[in-house]
Structure formats: C-alpha cells, structure tokens
Structure 1
Amino acid sequence: MGYTADDSLMVGTAVYAPAHDKLSEQAGRRLKLISGVVMAVLGLVVLLRPDWLT
C-alpha cells in the first residue's frame, strides 16, 4: 500500500505539473525535498516495520 500511494503521488505530480506550467526551479526543489522525505520514510519503514508493507 505504501509503495502504491508513493508512486501515485509522484506520477500524478509529474503528469499534472508539466501539463499546466513549466516546473520552476523552486517547485523542482520542493518536489525533490518531498521525494527525498518520502524515500527516507519508506526506508525507515522497511528497516523498522517491514510488516506494514504486507
């Protein structure tokens, strides 16, 4: 479930943003920050609570 939600968010953002406007440098940085935080959280979940991913 976690991977599906993460992928859906990233795909939705990637499809929506370029279709409506070019991604500004600031928006790109924000997207990278959000992506990094999501990846860090998922990494911690895999290490500490892998049973949540089943």
Structure 2
Amino acid sequence: MPTKKPKGMVELNGYIPKETKREFKLACTAIDRTMSDVLTELVENWLEEQKKKK
C-alpha cells in the first residue's frame, strides 16, 4: 500500500551509498526526526549557502 504524501510535498530521488543511507537513518532515528525532515533542512541550508556565493 502506498504511503500518503503530505500536502504540498513532492518526492525527491537520488542515489547514495548503502552505508551512508544506513548511517543517516540511524542518526535521524537517534534524534527522533524523519529522514524527510532532515533532508529538507539540509537542502534548505545548502540553497542558502549557494545564494551567499553569488
């Protein structure tokens, strides 16, 4: 059964090493946050850094 997509959200796909994904999932679980929540924060921070470089 497909999971329900939160309103206003889209899926983002990419490939990372299997071990990196495992460590990321463990780290997110350790701080009681979803991988989606942390990925959103990381991408937003990266975008802000890119704006500063212009």
TM over 0.5: no
TM-score range, shorter chain: 0.3 to 0.5
Higher relative contact order (CA 8 A, sep 6+): 1
Question: Which has a greater percent of helix?
Answer: 1
